[in-house]
Chain A
Amino acid sequence: MRKILIQNTLIIFILYVIVLSISLTVFINKNITDTYNSKNKEIASQINYNFNSYFDTIINTSNTTVDKLQKEQSNSSIEDLFELTVNVKTDIKGIALYDNFNNLYVKSSLFSLPDEEELNKLSSQAKLDSSIYIFSTPYGTLSSDSGCYIVREVKYYNVLGTIQTGYLFVDFNFSKIIELSEACDLGENGHIDIVDNQNNVVYSSGDIFLQDKDIIEKTILGETNTTIDSNRYYVNIDTCSSTPWRIAIFSNSNELHNQLVFSIFSMLGLGVLAIAVGFFITFKLSKIISSPLNELSKKMANIEKSHDLVHIKIENNDLDEIKSLTSSFNSMVDQIRSLMEEIYKRQDDLRVSELKSLQNQINPHFLYNTLDSIIYLSETNQNEKSIEMTVALARLFRISISKGKMIIPIKQEIEHANNYLVIQSIRYAGAFEYKFEIDENIGKYSTIKLILQPLIENAIYHGLKNRVDKGLLLIKGYFVEDKICFEIIDNGYGIAEDKLQDILDSFKKHDPGVGVGIVNVYRRLKLYFGDKATLDIISELDEGTTIKILIPREVEMNEKKIII
């Protein structure tokens, strides 16, 4: 039983823990990932915004310069324009104007000259589209004075006042970009790459561009996740406004990964812990329940086997239910014991009284007195009377013994009484007269034997034998409601009140020692019928005695009834 208890509980519990753990993990991980991703997106868009703003500013300044340039009429005024712009705008390092043949025409004082190859490359590109700026690759990115050129084809007035085409070179502060890149908190090894349309690096704040390049080439635009050198990165690539470049932001997402792994492991750990605790509790609980139950059932089985009706005590039990079971069992045991004792007692009583009545039946005095009488009658040739007496005696004993049966039909009991009276009336000839008033219908009902004869014997010996005049004995038997009533009425001396009391007291006593016939009859009646039978004595001194017996009406009576 314990096994099933444990099994079922554990299965359900483990399933529950697993489902809970998994769904919690999934839910939490998704939340973590979503939060992380949106944070990354935010950061990326902020970074992009900053870069875009910076470049927009540069472009705007340059546009203004281009517009103003077209209104200047002399070299010096152009130079002043450039100088002013450089001074006012800290992001602009220098401005220069080259003519159509790539010769330097005018420049601001701090303009750092590009080399010839670069110059030619940039101006030829600028020639193709006069409305956009051509970006060079930045220079000096390892120093603090990094710069970058933007070049645009422009129109200006030369010294002769004719309009010319030339190239405006604006050198802007690239250190600012580097600062912006390095200021971003992208986690450990997080970095920014600026790339051009050939996926070549313009600038990288990290040092793993060669590996970055693969992912940049593959993704081109948008976001993705990747792993480089066992670092996990969230990558976001977007275009940079006003420039032909793209910005690739590599943000370290190890933390995310670690958090996810941590959450999975901790869920796992918690789950295992929960299961372990569950196991422990289940085992413990089941033990608490099942061990006292086991003990109880074992002890009950023992009692069943050994029929040894002892109290059960369960050690180490805290369960009230078991306690109450045990005490109920014990009180049941007590009841059984007392019932059994009662049975034994009844059986004992019965045996004893049977024995006694058996003894009474074979009263030796009565026997040889009667035999003496028979001999006397034979010697005196009173053959009829001797035969009558002999026959009566034989019948008397036959019924007395009744094959050892306890129950006989009332008819036989009456016959028995009659036979007795026949004998006694011959012996004590003339001492008394007797009469039977029996309702013949009661004959078929049953009774215990030898209830009438002892009472009649009493009546004769104590009431009628020594009377001066003739005594009268009346035996009645009739129906009363659902009972049968026997009355033995004599007009003898009666019973003295104190003697009557003694008799009545003897009824109540349980010791079978007293051989008084009436007590014997009373006891046997009670033994067999219990409260359903009554025996009453009504007596008046010098007037007579009536003994009234009431027994229930039973046609068939179970011999075995007493032996439960």
Chain B
Amino acid sequence: MKKRLLSSLIILVFGVILSSCTKSETIISVLIYDANDTYISEMKSDFENQNIYNYSLKIYDCQKSQKIQNDLLIKTINKTDVYYINLVDRDSAGSILLKTREKHIPVIFFNREPSQSYIINSNEAYYVGSDSIDAGKKQAEAFDTTYKQALTNGIDLDTNKDGIISTVVLKGEENHQDSENRTSNSIARLKELGYNLSDVKMYVCNWSNDIAYKYTKKILEENPKVELVLSNNDDMALGMIKYLEEHKLFEPTYAAGEYPPISIVGFDGTVFGQKSIDSGQMLATVLNDAKLQVKVIYDLTNKLLTGYTNILTIDEVEVKNERYFYCPNKVIIKESV
């Protein structure tokens, strides 16, 4: 009896050792900024659905806290092969990279761009995302196209016809690369295209649908004649639209009924965003191609793990400084949906 017990114990121990030795799977730890964010949660599904290399994917929600992200990093550092990090605090990239450099773990930042110096100075850090400068320009172009289109239908989106487009910006975040770039470039591009913009007021709504909803009253009070709202993302735009709808300010007043009274241009091209365009509420948006970005991230990972050449190239994507993979943006307006 004792002998059997002993031998089965030995077999068990061996089995455990053996099974732990056969490490065939690559473990990817994904630290996302906020699982409640619409765009990010869509991206999360894309990660899960596009896992063609069958990596062992572990996704963690950092709940908008850099501390939580740091703690998760420490917790997972010994069982991670590659990190996909959606940075909470852009300045923390340096510290994070110091930690991952120790273990030679490559890090692919996505969606929230860290400062250049961090990525350049590390040889195992990459960024995949959309080109935010281009994003801003595309927002402007989206408005431009639609404006011109509306004119052909006899509708002037400059509702009070004073030659000035009264503009307001819903900003995602202060000191955020994408936020700043989209904001400043959309305004600059509109000016380039010849539009006369008013004194543009900025409202920081933290990328949030709820906050934008709450601020809308104040925004309307401070800007009663607002004609154009440039939103850094679809969620905030939709928050505003929700308020407008509830307060019955969104009845189309044109005969054709196809253009909303306030031109709202979003960014991301989320499912909700696109629906909103279909139903004629949001004027336009710009696609932040999550699916493409995820594909690029996976392809990049694959190249990294299977040995790589010094210059990485991936189709359809613009590579800057060998580390930045910018996926192109696409304008979405009603016709093209």
Contact = CB atoms under 8 A, between A and B. Distances in A.
Contact of B116 (A59, A128, A239): A128
A130 B91 contact: no
Contacts of B302: none
Interface stretch (B28-36, B37-45, B173-181, B290-298): B173-181
B115 to A, nearest CB: 5
B131 to A, nearest CB: 14
A63 B94 contact: no
B95 A197 contact: yes
A131 B67 contact: no
A277 B91 CA distance: 64
Contacts of B94: 197, 244
20 contacts: A125-B117, A128-B116, A128-B117, A130-B180, A131-B175, A131-B180, A132-B90, A197-B94, A221-B70, A221-B74, A222-B70, A222-B71, A222-B74, A239-B66, A239-B89, A241-B91, A241-B92, A242-B89, A242-B91, A246-B95
Contact of A238 (B67, B180, B199): B67
B32 to A, nearest CB: 18
A221 B75 CA distance: 11
B175 A220 contact: no
A191 to B, nearest CB: 20
Nearest to B202: A67
B192 interface: no
A129 B91 contact: no
A491 interface: no
A326 B91 CA distance: 93
B76 to A, nearest CB: 12
Interface residues of B, number: 29
A77 to B, nearest CB: 15
Nearest to B179: A131
Interface string A99-143: 000000000000000000000000001001111110000000000
Contacts of B98: 197, 220-221
A71 interface: yes
Q: How large is the interface on A (under 10, 10 to 19, 20 to 34, 35 or more residues)?
A: 20 to 34
Interface in B58-108: 66-67, 70-71, 73-74, 89-92, 94-96, 98-99, 102
B327 to A, nearest CB: 20
Given A131-B181, A239-B89, A220 B117 contact: no
Nearest to B181: A131
Nearest to B120: A128
B70 A238 contact: yes
A48 interface: yes
A129 B74 contact: no
Contacts of A220: 95, 98-99, 102
Contact of A221 (B73, B91, B181): B73
A59 B175 CA distance: 9
B336 to A, nearest CB: 31
Interface SS, B side: helix
Given A125-B117, A133-B175, A197-B94, 15 more contacts: A59-B174, A60-B174, A67-B202, A71-B199, A129-B115, A129-B117, A132-B90, A197-B118, A220-B99, A239-B66, A239-B67, A239-B92, A239-B95, A241-B89, A243-B91
B95 A131 contact: no
Interface string A209-221: 0000000000011
Interface in B166-217: 174-177, 179-181, 199, 202
Q: Which 4 A-B pairs have the closest CB atoms?
A: A197-B94, A131-B180, A222-B74, A239-B92
Interface in A207-250: 220-222, 238-239, 241-244, 246
Contacts of A197: 94-95, 98, 118
A263 interface: no
A143 to B, nearest CB: 27
A71 B200 CA distance: 10
A45 interface: yes
Contacts of A244: 91, 94
Contacts of A48: 67
B166 to A, nearest CB: 16
Contacts of A59: 174-175
A131 B182 CA distance: 12
B174 A63 contact: yes
B189 to A, nearest CB: 15
B175 A63 contact: yes
B176 A131 contact: yes
Nearest to A241: B89
Interface string A130-161: 11110000000000000000000000000000
Nearest to B173: A131
A125 B94 CA distance: 15
B199 A132 contact: no
Nearest to A129: B115
Interface in A239-287: 239, 241-244, 246
A242 B175 contact: yes
A239 B66 CA distance: 8
Given A222-B71, A222-B74, A129 B177 contact: yes
B64 to A, nearest CB: 11
A300 to B, nearest CB: 50
B307 to A, nearest CB: 28
A559 B118 CA distance: 126
Nearest to B180: A131
A410 B279 CA distance: 146
A515 B31 CA distance: 130
Nearest to A199: B98
B205 to A, nearest CB: 15
B67 A45 contact: yes
A520 to B, nearest CB: 85
A240 to B, nearest CB: 8
A220 B97 CA distance: 10
